[in-house]
Structure 1
Amino acid sequence: MKTQKTILLVINPIAGGTDKKPIINRFKTFVTEKNYVAEVYETTGEGDQKAIKDLVDRINPDRVFISGGDGTIREVADVLKEKDIKIALLPSGSANGLAENLNLPEELDEQLNIGLADHFMELDTIDVNGLSCLHIADIGVNAQLIKNYEQSEIRGKFGYLLQAFPTLVSSKFPFEVSLTVNGETMEKEGILVAIANANKFGTGANINPQGKMNDGKFEVLIFKNFSITEILKTFYGSTNLDPDFVEVICCTEVELKTGKPIALQVDGEYLGEETTVKASMNPHKIAVAVPADYKL
């Protein structure tokens, strides 16, 4: 008798401020109908990575579905980076940047079908201060916005919008930053410095038009000032951003140093204020399910 394969769902019950029971129930029904065994782990915010690792070691899942925001994906990716296990996404965070970049549909059954199919991309991963980053990390105004959002009570994109204006008004930006990249150290000033594996923020803003998530490189983006015109161009998918607005450096390793502590976020999770950020390509890639028509 052939042993059934197990599909694990790791789900963050509070991501995006929405009820996750419909996702859990549909996941169980869907994978069972496809003749798999369904296993669910709900994160608690305490000891999750060890618990997930222990569970993965015990059940040896065929693949792992992840439901939450980019921070939840990053946590699971950290656990799986030494394992040959494919992942699939059921995005349910406030801003789902990685899903936005992978062109995942919004309908749950479509996401489940993609996750159980055999179309995958070998996604680059970046080490940022010892943590895995699959999407975008940055210091500056965006990280400060995420901090303010996490401290507020209103979830979703509307919550981000409510925090945008007070963040800009109270910001300490621009700031000075020293970058050591491609064997050269340079001094820059900006409002945001991003380490980008992907093209878009979860809002849809295309901040890194030339980036590819599987080319073994990442981009360092130095946003120099507030330009409403250029910011709007990112939302309309422009591939021609003014170099006076953003400077782009392609690399595999970078060190950022600031004279004062600056807010840092990695994959949508605020991690505190730092004066030094080190990022480098991780040789490990992670296979993530993508739509059949996704263009690499």
Structure 2
Amino acid sequence: MKTQNTILLVINPIAGGTDKQPIINAFEKHVSQDGNQSFIYETTGDRDKEAIQELIKEQNPDRIVVSGGDGTIREVADAIKGASVKVGLLPSGSANGLATNFDIPDSLEEQLDIALGNHFIAMDLIEINGYTCLHIADLGINAQLIKNYEKSEIRGKLGYLIQSFPTLLSSDFPFEVEIQCDDQTISEEGILVAIANANKFGTGAQINPTGKMDDGIFEVLVFKNFSIKGILETFYDDAELDPDFVKVIPCKDVNIVSKKSIAFQIDGEFIGDEQRIEAKMTPHKLNLAIPKSFRR
């Protein structure tokens, strides 16, 4: 007799500004067809981490499926730190950077097959200034764009595009930073300093071509100038970035100090204007369901 599994769906009802009922309906149908039991938690923005932890204690789910953006996934990752529960993704945020990095398709049915499938990665997690980072954090022009986007009323990729022009025109970059990584100290000047666990931004721009999300290290990348050629190269899967455009520093922990406060974001969420960034690889892993076709 087949053992019944319990699947929790954590869903952010406002992520991406879309109706989530079709996702709920498809999830419940898919889970019941497999003879499993489902239950659903809708985030509220108020003590969601604690509520998820309480549900896990009560229901002991075999898997958690997350529907929302990267912020919702981070909330779940924080709630299950130290636990072995497996996680699947139904991306429904504005940019969905983590899903972009794992080539998760747009089709909801395909997403469900992957989220409830049996192909996983033990994904690294980074702690940055007390926050969990899943894929990419950065100081500089991209974080400034996100800051401006969050103030605007137009959501989605159109909102990012509209904000990109005034951000570029009004920015006073480059800026100077001192980077202390392992046993070396480096002084650099750039328009963006990224801490990258992953390869790509949610837009698909590949800023860290050699990065792996399960190798126990992350990369610090200093983009030195605004190069149209360099930026265009990030949109190719086989990109080899010019060292005159970007400097790459592999790290397990890093301190980054700027001479002035600079816009800072984690996984597409503006955190604040910061002068000091402390990042380290954590001992925790996220057991994430990914496509069988994903190439490490």
Q: How does 1:275-290 map to 2 (within 5 A)?
A: 275-290=275-290
The offset of 1:3, in angstroms, is 6.7
Query: What one-letter code is carried by the residue in structure 2 that aligns with 1:260?
Result: K
Please give the alpha-carbon distance, in whole angstroms, between the structure 2 residues aligned to 1:223 and 1:277.
17
Partner of 1:16: 16
Write the deviation string for residues 178-235 of structure 1: whole angstroms up to 9, x where unpaired.
Answer: 1101211221111110000000001000100010111111100001110011101101
Could you tell me whether the CA contact under 8 Å between 1:68 and 1:90 is conserved in 2?
A: yes
Could you tell me whether the CA contact under 8 Å between 1:8 and 1:64 is conserved in 2?
A: yes
- Number of residue-to-residue matches in the alignment: 296
Please give the alpha-carbon distance, in whole angstroms, between the structure 1 residues aligned to 2:222 and 2:199.
14
Please give the alpha-carbon distance, in whole angstroms, between the structure 1 residues aligned to 2:175 and 2:159.
26
Q: How does 1:7-156 map to 2 (within 5 A)?
A: 7-156=7-156
SS of the equivalent of 1:229 reads helix
TM-score (norm 1): 0.97
Could you tell me whether the CA contact under 8 Å between 1:78 and 1:131 is conserved in 2?
A: no
Taking every aligned residue pair, what percent have the same amino acid on both sides? 61
**Structure 2 gap segments, 5+ residues each:** none
1:212 aligns with 2:212: yes
SS of the equivalent of 1:178 reads strand
Please give the alpha-carbon distance, in whole angstroms, between the structure 2 residues aligned to 1:128 and 1:16.
25
The offset of 1:81, in angstroms, is 1.4
Please give the alpha-carbon distance, in whole angstroms, between the structure 1 residues aligned to 2:170 and 2:75.
31
Could you tell me whether the CA contact under 8 Å between 1:71 and 1:266 is conserved in 2?
A: no
SS of the equivalent of 1:185 reads strand
RMSD of aligned residue pairs (Cα, Å): 1.3
Please give the alpha-carbon distance, in whole angstroms, between the structure 2 residues aligned to 1:202 and 1:146.
12
Could you tell me whether the CA contact under 8 Å between 1:136 and 1:195 is conserved in 2?
A: yes
Partner of 2:252: 252
The offset of 1:127, in angstroms, is 0.7
1:241 aligns with 2:241: yes
SS of the equivalent of 1:90 reads strand
TM-score (norm 2): 0.97
Alpha-carbon distance change, 184 to 59 in structure 1, aligned in 2, over 3 angstroms: same
Please give the alpha-carbon distance, in whole angstroms, between the structure 2 residues aligned to 1:210 and 1:294.
15
Could you tell me whether the CA contact under 8 Å between 1:121 and 1:288 is conserved in 2?
A: yes
The offset of 1:239, in angstroms, is 2.6
SS of the equivalent of 1:159 reads helix
